[in-house]
Amino acid sequence: MDLAKLNQYLAVRDTMGGWITPGAAELFAWVDRLQKEEGIVGNLFEIGVHHGKTSVLLGNFADSTKERMGVCDVFGLAEKNITESGHGDREIFLNNFKSYVGDCSFLQVFEKRSAELVLDEIGTGYRFFHIDGGHSAGEVFGDLCLAESALSERGIIAVDDYFNGAWPGVSEGVCRFMFERPARLAPVAVGFNKVLFSRPSQQKWYVQQLSAPGWEHYFDGLDPSTKLREFFGVEIAVYIASPKVPILDRIGYRFKSLVGRLRNL
């Protein structure tokens, strides 16, 4: 997604209920841009839609002439929403999608528990798969198994809330997947409450791209820096966000701390 389109999305983001932060939207848009530059074509999927705050972003990534998008949420089937990680509403979601994506012809909606999804109905060849549905360890493990089977060779899986202490089941589900199904996926980046995974064969390429010059233009509201850190045995890009501090405030802060230190001499 180019910067102009990303800024259009960020301008309407707050009109939709849901949880994607500007930093996470910027990171997803940067991944989409890298994939497009590389000629990576594929489908998009989101498990856990709520009101469509992230689905609308993914819908804007898609080239509807050659890519499909799928979403899955229990929506009105409240008894199936065991972790209550949000409350999907199909009507609000579809209104948001129509308003901010427009074309719905490439969208397929699965109203059910993600555990009931089968590969035959969603198909394969996904270049971007976002997991943000039920937040128990079992649900996350199952969602990762499905996403991995559906992922194209060069696709990305994004998992929400891995480092959110309010949802420990998410990290448990991911760790279970990584240990029980080794060498299927490798992490490539952590940031803005998301962990991104690729196939091991693409891991180095994504890390290189995600930390190469250019990414910083995509992070407007924040002032992130990338570091290379080890995670599940490989080096990944870690985005460390700190609020942007105006240059004059920074100089003022340094001046005050210098005066403080001189006083203490």
- Tell me which residues touch ligand SAM (CB under 6 A): 18-20, 47-50, 53-54, 72-74, 81, 85-88, 113-114, 132-134, 139
**Measured from the CB of residue 198, what is the shortest distance to ligand SAM in angstroms?**
20
Strands 194-198 and 225-231: unpaired
The residue nearest ligand SAM at its CB is 18
**Measured from the CB of residue 76, what is the shortest distance to ligand SAM in angstroms?**
9
The secondary structure of 133-179 as a DSSP string is: S--SHHHHHHHHHHHHHHEEEEEEEEEESTT-TT-HHHHHHHHHHHH
* CA 93/CA 78 separation, integer angstroms: 16
Q: Name residue 23's amino acid.
A: G
**Measured from the CB of residue 82, what is the shortest distance to ligand SAM in angstroms?**
7
198 near 31, Cβ under 8 Å? Answer: no
Number of C-beta neighbours around residue 21 at 10 A: 17
**Measured from the CB of residue 174, what is the shortest distance to ligand SAM in angstroms?**
16
Nearer to ligand SAM, 20 or 31 (CB): 20
Nearer to ligand SAM, 19 or 232 (CB): 19
Nearer to ligand SAM, 59 or 155 (CB): 59
Nearer to ligand SAM, 118 or 262 (CB): 118
Q: What's the token pair of residue 116?
A: 């009931």
